[in-house]
Amino acid sequence: MSELASPPQPYGSSIPLPKALSCEVLLAWRMNGEPLPELHGGPVRVVVPGFIGARSVKWITTITVQIAPSDNYFQSTAYRLLPADADPETAAPGAGLSLSSIALNSDILVPDDGAVIPAGPLTIRGYAFAGDDRGVARVDVSLDDGVTWRQACLQPQRGPWAWRLWSLGVEVPPGELRITARAWDSTGALQPESAAALWNPKGYANNSWARVTVNVCG
């Protein structure tokens, strides 16, 4: 869903000064040795690794250093974690928490949810992401709704801000198969089990365990 600014205004955002001064935050005008494509914010965009994508402003024209966060609609009203009793239609600018650092998360990329796959060997694949100065320490996979868990094989960390890819080879029998995955970070924190407990009016920051259901044919 794309949110329309009210009143209409150019896209804007802000990040805390210490983050802005960190060496990972970039003004980017090239990507993979080519000029930055217009679709991704060319000629120049901000890249704020570890923060939600919304803080990486594209087609940038102005940067200001100021005492308080931006009052642009996309900072003060959109992308905010409102308390359960708030009404997003009437919440005042600045209400709730501004989304910035990304929470520990993971997902299953292979197989697709709803896929029909043959019985036998299956390589389950996914990514995990810890954010900030934490790392992905472990990814567990369950084939029985979280009763028992196996550790996935973590691929090398390709950089402090990159997804950590993982995989696990299993044998799958015919029938419906529910696959669950969850990541632990280097502080020993685990993703929350259920999305229900994370509910918030705008539906943001759901980092609950990843689940896909597939049909294994005999």
Ligand X SMILES: Nc1nc2c(c(=O)[nH]1)N[C@H]1C(S)=C(S)[C@@H](COP(=O)(O)O)O[C@H]1N2
Is residue 158 a contact residue for ligand X (CB under 6 A)?
no
What's the rounded Cα separation, in Å, for the pair 80 and 95? 8
Q: Which of 68, 74, 24 is nearest to 49 (CA)?
A: 24
**Minimum CB distance to ligand X smaller for 36 or for 212:** 36
Identified binder of ligand X from the candidate list 14, 36, 51, 56, rule CB under 6 A: 56
Q: How far is the CB of 39 from ligand X (least distance, A)?
A: 6
Using CB under 5 A as the binding rule, whether residue 203 contacts Mo ion is answered as no
40 binds ligand X (CB under 6 A): yes
Is 84 buried (19+), middle (13-18) or exposed (0-12) by CB count in 10 A? exposed
Identify the CA nearest to 43 among candidates 32, 31, 59: 59
The answer to whether residue 10 forms part of the interface with Mo ion (CB under 5 A) is no
Radius of gyration of the chain (CA): 20
Residue 40 contacts which entry, Mo ion, ligand X, none (Cβ below 5-8 A, type-dependent): ligand X
CB of 72 to Mo ion, least distance (A): 15
77 binds ligand X (CB under 6 A): no
Q: Does 53 bind Mo ion (CB under 5 A)?
A: yes
Amino acid 18 reads P
102 versus 124: smaller Cβ distance to Mo ion: 102
- The one segment of 55-63, 90-98, 186-194, 207-215 that binds ligand X by CB under 6 A: 55-63
- The interface region with ligand X, picked from 49-57, 122-130, 139-147, 176-184 by CB under 6 A, is 49-57
The answer to whether residue 204 forms part of the interface with ligand X (CB under 6 A) is: no
The residues, any chain, with a CB within 8 Å of residue 11's CB and separated by 6 or more, are 5, 57, 58, 72, 74
| DSSP output for 43-59 | T-EEE-TTB-GGGS-SS
38 close to 83: Cβ distance less than 8 angstroms: no
In the complex, the residues that contact ligand X under the rule CB under 6 A are 11, 40-41, 53-54, 56-59
Which residues of the chain form contacts with Mo ion (CB under 5 A)? 53-54
